[in-house]
Amino acid sequence: MTTHDLVIAGGGPAGAAAALGALQARPGMSVALLDRADFPRDKTCGDGIAPEVFDLLSEAGVEDVAEGWAPVDRLSMRRGERVVERTMARSTWVIPRAVFDHRLHQAAVRAGAQPHTHRVTRVAVGADEVQVDERFSAPLVVGADGAHSVVRRAIGLPPGPTAFALRGYAPTTAHRGGTQAMVFGETRQPSYAWSFDRGDGLANVGYGEVQAPGAPRLSRSELMAQIEQLLPGSTTDGTQWKGAHLPLSAWGAQVADGRVALVGDAAGMVNPMTGEGIYYAVLTGLLAGRAAAAALDAGDPQLFGRDYTRGVRTILGPHLRHSALAARLCRSGRLLDAGVRAAQSDQRVFDDLVDLGLANGRITPVVLRRLTRHLLGTATQRTELSG
């Protein structure tokens, strides 16, 4: 048994960020960073990384994670015949997770985290310490072990709503270069196919949809068929097709219990509208790391869960409420159509929707006004047609 100040289960973006947050706030603290995989490792993902992720990492002293990869400036959204393509207010990046996560993990190790290849199977919370597999112990533990978190189960939290998505890599088709293309499904909602140009001749291509409780999930060939239907030609010569679950966020969900905090996917922190999760993973990781350092500084480990929860609610609370509402609204095809038309007619609406889907945005007054106008416009057209 080794004893640490903080044990982090999972060394993906959320776990690495937790280590960075803790070590920046309290240099020299003993942080064990456990992962069942050796890095570099793949992670099934769309690889789209919002600019706000780099803002957070820069605050944590990490500057080089996007080096060698080109920014992507354009985003297109389509539903049926309606399409909007615009330049985003800020560029995003498409970086394979084997590269991005490895760089982040290395940054955490450089900051002082001690990496261990270890699969966590058991977490026991005692009066004074938390034990992980009777091999690691610490007053505080962060669960950053992804969508099927063992730590989450150990503190008795049930899984929340999920989506399922399949992704692969295929040569970027000529007209989709330099673009993140999203095509919304026409049946199940929210759902979309994507083709995100990496800038190196390949695109990350995939399709994902929300899972209704108890409903069977689409087979791999059905998921592939959805991609081809929505983005014809995008799967040609594709490789590395893999599917995975996305645990979707819900406002007010519990993210900690005393000495144990959950971050990233383990906390169910994926945007329910877009499936974006790296921003929330890095943000919640940093918040948990900083809360751990503060609780140790105060000599009161019980402050950890309370202060971390407070931090998440303060910073993300309004966004989580708004994105949950937006995801519900996206179930309506008419509203999705109105959203695409509103984004087409006004750059501010486009920018605000990007912010809501990728980072900490809200449903702003201009989005509401434009949506209402387009919805009423459609209703008026219908009335005129039927009259």
Q: HSE (CB half, 13 Å, CA atoms) of 197?
A: 21
Cis preceding-peptide flag for 216 (omega within 30 of 0)? no
Work out how close the CB of 198 gets to ligand FAD at its nearest, in angstroms, rounded to a whole number. 11
> What is the distance between the alpha carbons of residues 234 and 327, in angstroms, rounded to a whole number?
26
Is 10 or 161 the residue whose CB approaches ligand FAD more closely?
A: 10
Q: In sequence order, what are the beta bridge partners of 130?
A: 125, 138
DSSP 265: G
Work out how close the CB of 387 gets to ligand FAD at its nearest, in angstroms, rounded to a whole number. 45
Look at the block and give the residue holding tokens 């996560």.
101
Is 78 or 167 the residue whose CB approaches ligand FAD more closely?
A: 167
Q: Which amino acid is at 303?
A: L
> What is the distance between the alpha carbons of residues 224 and 250, in angstroms, rounded to a whole number?
28
256-257/260-262 β-pairing? antiparallel
31-35/6-9 β-pairing? parallel
Work out how close the CB of 345 gets to ligand FAD at its nearest, in angstroms, rounded to a whole number. 26
Is 45 or 75 the residue whose CB approaches ligand FAD more closely?
A: 45
Work out how close the CB of 123 gets to ligand FAD at its nearest, in angstroms, rounded to a whole number. 10
**First-residue to last-residue Cα distance in the chain:** 78
Is 288 or 338 the residue whose CB approaches ligand FAD more closely?
A: 288
191-197/179-184 β-pairing? antiparallel
Work out how close the CB of 154 gets to ligand FAD at its nearest, in angstroms, rounded to a whole number. 10
Is 76 or 378 the residue whose CB approaches ligand FAD more closely?
A: 76
DSSP 172: P
Is 241 or 304 the residue whose CB approaches ligand FAD more closely?
A: 241
Work out how close the CB of 172 gets to ligand FAD at its nearest, in angstroms, rounded to a whole number. 16
Residue number, nearest CB to ligand FAD: 277
Sheet holding 239-247, edge to edge: 48-49, 82-94, 71-79, 179-184, 191-197, 202-210, 162-171, 239-247
Q: Which residues form the interface with ligand FAD (CB under 6 A)?
A: 9-15, 34-37, 43-48, 119-120, 144-146, 150, 165, 167, 206, 208, 244, 246, 264-266, 270, 275-278, 281
Work out how close the CB of 358 gets to ligand FAD at its nearest, in angstroms, rounded to a whole number. 7
Is 257 or 337 the residue whose CB approaches ligand FAD more closely?
A: 257
